[in-house]
Amino acid sequence: MSKVIDTKEPLVTATAMSVISLSSEDSSDAEGEFSSLTLADDFTPLPAYKAAGTIETDFDGLLSAAKTLRLHEDLTNGCGGQLWPAGMTLARYMLRYHARSLAGKRILELGAGGGLVGLAVARGCDLGENHAPFYITDQMEMFSLMRHNIALNKLEGKVEPMLLNWGEPLPAEIVANPPDVILAADCVYFEPAFPLLQTTLIDLLSVRPEAVIYFCFMKRRRADMQFLKQARRRFCVTEIDDDERPVWSRQGLFMFAITSKENGKTQGGKEGE
């Protein structure tokens, strides 16, 4: 169950997206693989702008009343500031299937926006008494919103906001404490970000080959499936079997576990599955 508990009047102007450009330094193999994305003609429509406000949700009872998640939405600095269906779906999956399997795991959320998935995991999953580093990451435009939502759920000291620009070298903290579990839901809005995301995924699996990436997205354009095609070449990609799949698949949602090919073989997974 979700409900709005506080709203503000919408601002007169809002930044619809954070523009990401591919510089000459970024035009590597990844750009070549995704060259058809940069000038694609099927851009995702801008989301309908809505007033900033705070919602609370227990994910239909998956969180107890004491752990209900509160999340502030604000589109002022980009479309990452609102809830997206893939985020709700991935959060529900993690709460249902991984509530007791994350103790001691280092966790990182990519393209977190307001931090829906990561904060839901932090609220509802057993991370152990001496929990490992837990980061929710995005660009500077989302930093204050991530920090606000961490405080809103009293998770200071348990979850840390961090700047992570895809395609750039990983922050020193991530290299020193590479994540075991990586969460990503509807994290790409602007198509030229796809090759940058792939570069970051490669880097993350390089510093922690045993890591698992839980990746959920809604198919809105050809570029989404093109990214998946390229991911299958680089990684072991396994579609996730979820009891709620008949429901969310009708919404055009897809959910995958992504691992390094070496790790996928070790675990007995089929490549490209």
Binding residues for S-adenosyl-L-methionine: 84, 111-113, 138, 166, 185
212 near 257, Cβ under 8 Å? Answer: yes
Is 183 in a helix, a strand, or coil? strand
> How far apart are alpha carbons 229 and 225 in whole angstroms?
6
Residue type, 263: N
Tokens 């919103």, located at residue = 145
212-218 vs 236-239, strand pairing mode? unpaired
Annotated binding-site members: 84, 111-113, 138, 166, 185
Question: At residue 145, what are phi and psi to the nearest 5 degrees?
Answer: -70, -40
234, two tokens: 């680089």
> How far apart are alpha carbons 16 and 49 in whole angstroms?
9
